[in-house]
């Protein structure tokens, strides 16, 4: 099966690595060509010069880009996907996108006989490397069956969220919760540091109690207490995700003040810390405001 993979970023290149083998025939395209060339040195893949060149023969096209805006950008233009994608192909968008744009992309592709699934992923770079991502997809079940093998190459828990856009919606809300947990856990630990409680002792108890989350169990012990702060998922991308959840809430007239506040705090964190930092570094705004380090 001929696959084109577009977007070899922090998570994309790990997902693509599972498709660089039989029964797949992989072509990759990345905006920064050096990354695609490095990928092809380590994996069985052809490097395309443009998105159009990548998708020309593909039965399945996968996009994994920062947001739906970049997916729109690679579709259009002289050398864009739409210039060459085959009728009957399926585009699987693994970007954590936004539901309205995914619906409009699906409609545009549908007009050309191309099927679309939004299929964002969770589990981070660790699950991407292992090929055990959770995949939440939106779209038609008969389309999914045609590409099941492809999604199973990098996914383990694979869930139909509903019509096109539903995968994006679920992903945005999951990540809004992640953002809330990171900041609320950092705030709780800031109180405890000020109260003279060792954060390691605090986390030991919280993780055996009802205040626990992935942030308290994994992210803060492994990345904050150690001061390692590895870059696996950019803060700017989490800001984008909680922003999508906040806009959905507004559109749907849901009252979500906590999500709104956390979206504003992540905006502030990104303005202070920049585009390149990891999402967990958001704790640094809490540390700075309280003039302490959680360690």
Binding site for ligand NDP (CB under 6 A): 7-12, 30-32, 35, 64-66, 70, 73-74, 95-96, 121-122, 124-125, 232-234, 237
Q: How far is the CB of 290 from ligand NDP (least distance, A)?
A: 28
Which CB, 116 or 233, lies closer to ligand NDP? 233
Q: How far is the CB of 83 from ligand NDP (least distance, A)?
A: 15
CB 246 within 8 A of CB 260: yes
Is there a catalytic annotation at residue 240? no
Q: One of 171, 200, 240, 295 is an active-site residue; which one?
A: 171
CA distances from 49 to 33, 82, 83 (A): 8, 15, 14
Which CB, 15 or 189, lies closer to ligand NDP? 15
Q: Kindly state the tokens that stand for 277.
A: 């930092």
Q: How far is the CB of 166 from ligand NDP (least distance, A)?
A: 16
In whole angstroms, what is the distance from residue 29 CA to residue 10 CA? 14
CA distances from 210 to 205, 214, 221 (A): 9, 12, 17
The residue whose Cβ lies closest to ligand NDP is: 9
Which CB, 44 or 76, lies closer to ligand NDP? 76
Q: How far is the CB of 200 from ligand NDP (least distance, A)?
A: 26
Which CB, 279 or 284, lies closer to ligand NDP? 279
Place of tokens 């969770």: 122
240-275 in b/e form (b: 16+ CB < 10 A) is bbbbbbbebbeeeeeebeebbebbebbeebbeebee
Q: Kindly state the tokens that stand for 174.
A: 């999951």
Catalytic residues, which ones? 171
């Amino acid at each position: 099966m001929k696959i084109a993979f577009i977007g070899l970023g922090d998570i994309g290149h790990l997902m693509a690595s599972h498709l660089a083998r039989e029964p797949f025939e992989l072509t990759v395209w990345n905006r920064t060509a050096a990354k695609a060339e490095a990928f092809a040195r380590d994996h069985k893949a052809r490097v395309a010069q443009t998105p159009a060149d990548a998708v020309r023969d593909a039965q399945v096209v996968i996009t994994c880009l920062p947001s739906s805006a970049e997916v729109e950008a690679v579709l259009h233009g002289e050398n864009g996907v739409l210039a060459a994608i085959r009728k009957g192909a399926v585009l699987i968008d693994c970007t954590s996108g936004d539901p309205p744009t995914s619906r409009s992309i699906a409609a545009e592709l549908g007009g050309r006989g191309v099927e679309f699934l939004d299929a964002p992923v969770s589990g981070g770079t660790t699950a991407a490397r292992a090929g055990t991502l959770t995949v939440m997809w939106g779209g038609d079940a008969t389309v999914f069956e045609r590409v099941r093998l492809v999604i199973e190459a990098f996914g383990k828990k694979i869930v139909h969220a509903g019509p096109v856009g539903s995968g994006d919606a679920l992903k945005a809300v999951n990540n809004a919760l992640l953002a809330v947990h990171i900041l609320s856990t950092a705030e709780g630990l800031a109180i405890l540091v000020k109260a003279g409680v060792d954060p390691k002792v605090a986390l030991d108890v919280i993780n055996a109690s009802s205040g626990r989350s992935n942030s308290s169990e994994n992210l803060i012990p492994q990345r904050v207490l150690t001061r390692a702060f590895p870059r696996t998922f950019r803060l700017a991308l989490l800001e984008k995700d909680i922003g999508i959840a906040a806009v959905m809430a507004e559109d749907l007239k849901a009252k979500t003040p906590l999500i709104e506040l956390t979206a504003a705090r992540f905006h502030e964190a990104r303005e202070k810390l920049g585009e390149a930092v990891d999402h967990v570094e958001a704790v640094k705004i809490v540390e700075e405001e309280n003039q302490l380090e959680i360690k």
